[in-house]
Chains A and B, each alone.
Chain A
Amino acid sequence: MNSTLDRFVGGKQGAIGLAILAALILVVFPLLLDAFRLNMVGKYLTYAFVAVGLVLCWGYGGILSLGQGIFFGLGGYCMAMFLKLEASDPESTKIQSTPGIPDFMDWNQITELPWFWEPFNSFGFTLLAVIAVPVILALVIGVAMFKRRVGDVYFSIVTQAIALILTVLIIGQQGLTGGVNGITDLKTLMGWDIRSDEAKLILYFVNAFLLLGCILIGKFILTSKLGRLLMAMRDKEERVRFCGYDVAAFKIFVFCVGAAFAAIGGAMFTLQVGFMSPSFVGIVPSIEMVIFCAVGGRLSLLGAVYGALLVNFGKTYFSETLPELWLFLMGGLFIAVVMYFPNGLAGLWQSHGQKWLVRLQTKLRKPTPPAPLPRNDKRDDGESKPLAAAEPSKLETSV
């Protein structure tokens, strides 16, 4: 029981980190930010799904996908299709030549709902499709590539090409997809107005819990035997293969998990922002998503969340205060991260923050035990209490 829990949260260290993050996004942000800023944080957190997936794929699996926008976009589009159909009831589209179909179809002389839009009338199907469509695509890509032992940089390039192909396809088929404008003007989810402030607050919390859920799943995978195999593969693929493991199967699995996470993020993005467009599918957003992960630290699931938050916060802040210069500042931030903290925020935390935390702990402990410190690890029961008491204060100082 305890050990399973341990595996989910990743030990005491992991539990503290997770608690801090949960407190931050579940308590601190909602209390400190107004509805508008909170909705923006919600949007940033949808990118964190992708970044968490990338930590699994890239940081631990060694698979650098430069096309996570594909899955983010597909998840988002599946959700957007459902919402668009709901927003295009015959009543509100009666000025069209064909009422009852999405407005962009009407502009493109389409008179009937295309067959692949039909199932998206059902919410159940949509929820399934949000995960299933991207995962199936990831499975196809994964099987086609990893079974043939295509890896490394070739894999990255192919994912980029697929992202580009998908963008061209979506833009080109504008009658079926909304083209470059995307699917816009989404209003309600099963009759519930998703544009109101209350709805945005609820969606924010749904989003936050889903994200924490994904992080737990990620931790569970990483602490399992599978996680160790992934790391072994990343460091020396041949060795794992010669041990008799089917390397391709593991890679496909972790790639699909990454795709599923990205897709959940995409669907939540659509719900919170109110539209979906091909500008999230292409090469540039896909690379941006890798940057979130790199800034956060590609070996840390929690770091990825902070990375997504920090980069997007920087984007918003700089572009609001210095509309003409902000791109240079963002560029400077990335260069600084790559030059000075190659392991990202998480690396920074491990090299500096943890030392400081240990020093803090020792300071706090000193008054209670008169005995010298090195013997600490032997006393189990007596030790756990002061540590537990120290945790809340640590919580505060780190936030």
Chain B
Amino acid sequence: MDSQLKGAKLRFPRRLALGAAALSMLAASAFAAPPTAEVNTTGLAVTDTEVVVGQLHSATGTMAISETGSIQAERLAIEQINAAGGILGRQIKVIQEDGASDWPTFAEKSRKLLVNDKVAAVFGCWTSASRKAVLPVFERENGLLYYPTFYEGLEQSKNVVYTGQEATQQILAGLDWVAKEKEAKTYYLLGSDYIWPRTSMKIARKHIETVLGGKVVGEEYYPLGHTQFGSLINKVKLKKPDVVFAAVVGGSNVAFYKQLKAAGVTAEKQTLLTLSVTEDELLGIGGENMAGFYASMKYFQSLDNPNNAAFVEAFKAKYGQDAVIGDVTQAAYLGPWLWKAAVEKAGSFDVDKVVAATPGIELTTAPEGYVKVHENQHLWSKTRIGEVLPNGQFKVVYESDLIEPNPFPKGYQ
């Protein structure tokens, strides 16, 4: 009202100019950013210029070393999206919370992000335990979580998009490859004692015994943080399995591979395929201690394609030339991009609409190549076998076709 009255007193040319300016501004905003009332009907933290998302990883505690890569990759993706104009004309603002490697803290912080901050999406969690702790919160508050880690499957929530591989994707391709290339018949299964290795080995055993016609000659689990693998190494030497299939995690990894090498169990004498060593872990283990062993992952830093070259360059430019990128880091990088694609497809930030738009989203710019979201909100992805090089990188020796995600594998439960 006020501005109209003032405008009426102005002389004609200025009024025209003002009117034209107002019109052009209106038009610009209509093209760049649809009105907030339209894209946000559920009271999320979205303004005309900004959309708030949450980031929930462990910046402190024992998991910090693993989760830092994910934090960095998500930040990088968000910066790149912002630099390219944001989402629906809005810049992404991040609220970072620290889960502190403590599961109840994760639950508390996820509630804070969803209830107090009303974030439109959360990128976060790493361990299964932290995901299990926040899952009821996300389901109850109808939040949206992008979870980056390869994990055991047996879960499918409409409030979670799983950007890492579930167990069958990672395991079956790896076992098929080793059975064919190395003519493996006998397998020794080995893991840290918690749900992911146990479920993975359950699937592996079924596949080895029923599909590959092989034999499992040993299956053992060690507590998290275990560092004495002498007796295990003796058993491996005694049984001489064609393949040691390992899912040892965290600090145990360093002790395990160093002791293997010290005991003379090296790649010349023993084939070993692991599910749990990425470039990040190799930093701690040392490439020379593992050279010649294999890892089954969907992504290696050394993947040779233009997407990955650009990603690695941007990552190193931001976080230093010595930065390494592991499987989970790349999966975390996909999160914001998948969310962007889904929001733009839905034309809305509303969680229900984004979820509805999510299946079928394709990402041709992914560093790992091409991914597509399945109805079960896991990704179609390829599995690669990498051979450890002494410099802490992997040489990709095999690449599968796109594998369908199957978190509840029939016949493997």
A: residues with CB less than 8 A from B are 34-36, 39-40, 43, 95, 97, 103-104, 107-109, 168, 171-172, 174, 179-182, 184-187, 195, 273-275, 277, 279-280, 316, 319-320, 323-324, 326-327
Contacts and interface: CB of A to CB of B under 8 A. Distances in A.
A109 B195 CA distance: 12
Interface string B234-265: 00000000000000000000000000000000
B404 to A, nearest CB: 19
B154 to A, nearest CB: 6
A177 B108 CA distance: 22
Contact of A36 (B103, B105, B116, B135): B116
B194 A277 contact: no
Interface string B85-118: 0000000000011101011110111011001100
B399 interface: no
Contact of B97 (A36, A168, A185, A323): A323
A277 B154 contact: no
Contacts of A103: 154
B108 to A, nearest CB: 6
B223 A172 contact: yes
B104 A277 contact: yes
Contacts of A39: 111
B129 A324 contact: no
B193 interface: yes
B136 A36 contact: no
Max count, chain B CB within 10 A of own CB: residue among A36, A103, A181, A273 = A181
A154 B220 CA distance: 35
Contacts of B111: 36, 39
Contacts of A109: 202
B128 A181 contact: yes
Contacts of B195: 104, 107, 174, 179-181
Contacts of B194: 171, 174, 179-181
B198 interface: yes
Given A95-B408, A107-B195, A327-B60, A275 B107 contact: yes
A104 B132 CA distance: 11
26 contacts: A34-B116, A35-B115, A104-B195, A107-B152, A107-B154, A107-B199, A108-B198, A109-B202, A171-B224, A174-B194, A180-B129, A180-B224, A181-B103, A181-B128, A181-B129, A181-B194, A182-B132, A185-B135, A279-B104, A280-B104, A319-B105, A319-B109, A320-B109, A323-B96, A324-B60, A327-B100
Nearest to B104: A273
Top 4 A-B pairs, shortest CB-CB distance: A323-B98, A36-B115, A181-B129, A184-B132
A103 B153 CA distance: 13
Contacts, number: 99
A185 B224 CA distance: 24
Interface of B: 59-60, 96-98, 100, 102-105, 107-109, 111-112, 115-116, 128-129, 132-133, 135-136, 140, 152, 154, 193-195, 198-199, 202, 223-224, 408, 413
Contact of A185 (B132, B152, B408, B413): B132
B133 A277 contact: yes
Contacts of B128: 181
B107 A274 contact: yes
B60 A277 contact: no
Contacts of B133: 181-182, 184, 275, 277
A43 B112 CA distance: 14
A195 B129 contact: no
B263 to A, nearest CB: 26
Contact of B136 (A95, A184, A277): A184
Contacts of A40: 108
A171 B98 contact: no
A104 B155 CA distance: 11
Nearest to B115: A36
A294 to B, nearest CB: 20
Nearest to A328: B60
Given A36-B111, A107-B154, 10 more contacts: A34-B116, A40-B108, A174-B195, A174-B198, A182-B133, A185-B132, A275-B133, A316-B108, A320-B109, A327-B100
A167 to B, nearest CB: 10
A195 B413 contact: no
Contacts of B199: 107
Contacts of B193: 171-172, 174
Contact of B140 (A184, A195, A277): A195
Contacts of A36: 111-112, 115-116
Contacts of A323: 59, 96-98
Nearest to B59: A323
A265 B103 CA distance: 18
Contacts of B413: 97
Contact of A184 (B135, B152, B198): B135
A275 B136 contact: yes
A320 B97 contact: yes
Contacts of A184: 132-133, 135-136
B103 A279 contact: yes
A273 B115 CA distance: 15
Nearest to B194: A180
A180 B63 CA distance: 14
B132 A273 contact: no
Contact of A326 (B60, B107, B136, B198): B60
Contact of B223 (A108, A171, A324): A171
B251 to A, nearest CB: 15
A91 B85 CA distance: 47
Max count, chain A CB within 10 A of own CB: residue among B96, B132, B152, B413 = B132
Nearest to B56: A323
A95 B128 CA distance: 20
B234 to A, nearest CB: 23
Contacts of B105: 319
A310 to B, nearest CB: 17
Contacts of A43: 104, 108
Contacts of A275: 103-104, 107, 132-133, 136
A43 B115 CA distance: 17
B209 to A, nearest CB: 15
B217 to A, nearest CB: 20
B112 A320 contact: yes
A323 B135 CA distance: 22
A181 B132 contact: yes
B98 to A, nearest CB: 4
Contact of A319 (B97, B202, B224): B97
A39 to B, nearest CB: 8
A185 B102 CA distance: 17
Contact of B129 (A35, A172, A277, A327): A277
A185 B154 CA distance: 14
Contacts of A95: 408
A188 to B, nearest CB: 12
Nearest to A196: B140
Contacts of B132: 181-182, 184-185, 275
A182 B129 contact: yes
